[in-house]
Amino acid sequence: MPFLTEEQAKALMTKVLSYSKADECEVNLSFSDGGNIRYARNAVSTSGAIGQSSLVVSSAYGKKLGVATINEFDDASLEKVVRRAEELAHLAPENPEYMPMLGPQVYAAPTKTFEPATAAIDAKFRADATQQSLKVSEDNKLVAAGYLENSAGFNAMMNSHGLFAYNTSTNVNFSVTLRSPDGKGSGYATKGYTNVAQLDVAAATRVAAQKAAASVDARALEPGKYTVILEPAAGVVLLEYIGQGMDARSTDEGRSFLSKPGGASKLGEKLMDERVTIYSDPANSILPTSVWTGDGRPQEKVTWVDKGVIKNLSYSRYWAEKKKVKAVPGPDAFIMDGGNQTLEQLIASMEKGILVTRLWYIRMVDPQSLLLTGLTRDGTFYIENGKIKFPVKNFRFNESPVIMLNNLDALGIPERVVSGESFQHAVVPPMRIRDFTFSSLSDAI
């Protein structure tokens, strides 16, 4: 299947629905085309290209739902997949939590999630970008390993109640690690954009090179509580546990960090410093996202944490109906407000502490307190009197992002960042945090 326009997608899905005999029928159509290149030891290692398209048909009889998918789009195949979904629905057990499909929805104006320049990336572009990155590595006498991937596609849905939605998107992600040949220094950079014109592979590689050179011969500091500056790439991997943890059902069931005894929740309570505001907004100019979700609900601007107060929880349609509240879907991407200082200004105004440029291998230790563990990686530095003094050995930390956001000291200017753990994009400020808990030392470089 080629990249369909909105009208072409609508025509195809209308045809699919015309085959339906079920009480309700919904069609999700998706297409993506992309490629990647990987390099290591200053040479290309693997690369590939993959195009994928999928048509998902959901057919329901009463509360019995059947789902079938296909990646062939001739008339016979389209009818076949509808029949198969209907057969599966007949065989399915009744789902007491089934929600009837949505009727027509009003979505906000489409956001700028698609850029033609990104969709035009080809194997030559990827190889050229890799060559630029390798040149920076070799000029600095370092060893590079990196990865560039791009994709372009569309998502569309339509159902028998008249709902229709369509969205196009592009994405390009780049990450690179430079290491000194003796393995004593390592630096990392990652960038992700909707528009490839914003991506400067050489500049990102130079940032990684600077960190690699500066991190050689790290000294050991005693583990303990330190004031830290978390660069956005370090902060995002902790903050995303809050972004993902706003689910109302698990909160109401008593098994979330937002639960309170007896089925109550911390909704409306101040849990963090008043400078903490976290929201999602499809129209955000730095990180535009789709104005509708995979189940057809409108994606609107939602404030999750407002000046430290838990303001909203996300709901499945079933749970929202049960609780008689608006079914606010979970965010596609989150944005955290910041301050006016640059990272350099945050460092310059710091008496002493540690600059953390990346955190790695983050795992939940206790869902009750959102206690997380993980390690610093690829450049950790000691700061004294506003200056980076020397690189320090990596630490393991045990910290809850909720406690961390109570110990907030200062926020910098937010920027778009890619999580090195979930690969999701977010807009996050650099953060200066007091009493961040490092529990042991690591010899890893």
Partner 1 sequence: MKRRDFLNYSGLGAAGMFLQGMPMVGNIISAEEALNPGADTAKKKQMADVALNAARSKGATYADVRIGRYLNQFTVTREDKVQNIVNTESYGLGIRVIANGSWGFAATDQLDNDSIAKAAAMAVSIAKENARLLKEPVQLAPQKGYGEVSWKTPIEKNAFEVPIKEKVDLLLGVNDAAMKAGANYITSLLFLVNEQKYFASTDGSYIDQDIHRIWPAFFVTKIDAATGKFETRNSLSAPSGMGWEYMSAKPADKIKSVTTLYRNSYDMLEDAKLAGQQAGDKLKAKSVEPGKYDLILDPSHLWLTIHESVGHPTELDRVLGYEANFAGTSFLTLDKWQSKKFNFGNKLVNIKADRLQPGSLGAMGYDDEGVKCGQWDIIKDGILVNYQTIRDQAHILGLNASQGCCYADSWSSVQFQRMPNISLQPGKEKKSIDDLIKNVEKGIYIIGDGSFSIDQQRYNFQFGGQLFYEIKNGKIAGMLKDVAYQSNTQEFWNSVGAIADASDYRLGGAFGDGKGQPPQSNSVSHGSATTHFKNANVINTARKIG
Considering only residues 181-210, where is the footprint of partner 1 by CB under 8 A?
183, 186, 188
413 binds partner 1 (CB under 8 A): no
Query: What secondary structure does DSSP assign to 171-213, as a single string?
Result: EEEEEEEEE-TTSS-EEEEEEEESSGGG--HHHHHHHHHHHHH
For residues 321 and 294, is the Cβ–Cβ distance under 8 A? no
Write out the two tokens for 398. Answer: 């045990």
134, 199, 333, 431: which one binds partner 1 (CB under 8 A): 134
For partner 1, give the closer residue by CB, 9 or 362: 362
The CA distance from 313 to 311, in Å, is: 7
Give Cα separations from 137 to 174, 183, 187, 199 (angstroms).
15, 14, 11, 17
Q: Is residue 139 part of the contact set for partner 1 (CB under 8 A)?
A: no
* Closest approach of partner 1 to the CB of residue 62, in Å: 15
Residue 424 DSSP symbol: -
Q: Mark residues 215-254: x for contact with partner 1 by CB under 8 A, - for none.
A: --------------------------------------xx
The residue ranges of DSSP E strands in 180-272, in sequence order, are: 186-193, 224-230
CA distance 189 to 177: 7
In the set 8, 36, 198, 284, which binds partner 1 (CB under 8 A)?
Answer: 36
Q: How far is CA 332 from the centre of its chain?
A: 8
CB 56 within 8 A of CB 28: yes
Instruction: Collect all residues with Cβ–Cβ distance below 8 Å to 257 and sequence separation of at least 6.
Output: 245, 367, 368, 369, 370, 400, 402
Helix (H) or strand (E) holding 168: strand 164-179
Decide: is 348 part of the binding site for partner 1 (CB under 8 A): no
Give the pairing type, strands 302-306 and 278-280. antiparallel
361 part of the interface to partner 1, by CB under 8 A: yes
Distance CA 430, CA 33 (A): 34
> Under 8 Å CB-to-CB from 390, ≥6 apart: which residues?
218, 219, 381, 382
175 lines the binding site for partner 1 (CB under 8 A)? yes
Q: Figure out which of the listed residues 31, 39, 381, 382 binds partner 1, where binding follows CB under 8 A.
A: 39
- The least distance separating partner 1 from the CB of residue 3, rounded to whole angstroms, comes to 16
Instruction: State the nearest-atom distance from the C-beta of 106 to partner 1, in Å.
Output: 21
Mark residues 283-302: x for contact with partner 1 by CB under 8 A, - for none. -----------xx-------
Quote the Cα angle for 242-247-252, to 5°.
Answer: 120
Q: Does 149 participate in binding partner 1 (rule CB under 8 A)?
A: yes
User: Does 165 sit near partner 1 (CB under 8 A)?
Assistant: no
Q: Which one, 111 or 341, has the nearer CB to partner 1?
A: 111
Q: Which C-beta is closer to partner 1: that of 184 or that of 345? A: 184
Residue choice 2, 11, 18, 50 for contact with partner 1 (CB under 8 A): 50
CA dihedral 320, 324, 326, 330 (to 10 degrees): -20
Nearer Cβ to partner 1 (157/336): 157
For position 13 contacting partner 1 by CB under 8 A, the verdict is: no
Kindly tell me which of 5 and 95 has the beta carbon lying closer to partner 1: 95
Min dist CB 350 to partner 1, Å, is 26
Size of the site for partner 1 (CB under 8 A): 96
By CB under 8 A, tell whether 441 contacts partner 1. Answer: yes
| Neighbouring-strand partners of residue 177 | 145, 188
Is the separation of the CB atoms in 197 and 115 below 8 Å? yes
Q: Cβ 396 to partner 1, closest distance in Å?
A: 6
- The letter for the amino acid at 336 is M
Q: Give φ, ψ of 401 to 5 degrees.
A: -60, -25
Cα gap 308→405, rounded to integer Å: 8
Q: Contacts with partner 1 in 253-282 (CB under 8 A)?
A: 253-255, 257, 259-263, 266, 269, 271
Considering the rule CB under 8 A, would residue 1 count as an interface residue with partner 1? no
**Pick from 179, 206, 416, 425: which binds partner 1 (CB under 8 A)?**
179
387 binds partner 1 (CB under 8 A): no
Q: How far is the CB of 260 from partner 1 (least distance, A)?
A: 5
CB of 423 to partner 1, least distance (A): 8
Question: Is residue 70 at the binding interface for partner 1, with CB under 8 A as the rule?
Answer: yes
Contacts of partner 1 in 90-129 (CB under 8 A): 91-93, 95-97, 123-124, 127
DSSP for 43-102 reads EEEEEEEEEEEEEEEEEEETTEEEEEEES--SHHHHHHHHHHHHHHHHHSPP-TT--PPP
Cβ at position 116, least distance to partner 1 in Å: 22
- Quick check: 325 binds partner 1 (CB under 8 A)? no
Position among 402, 410, 411, 428 found at the interface with partner 1 (CB under 8 A): 402
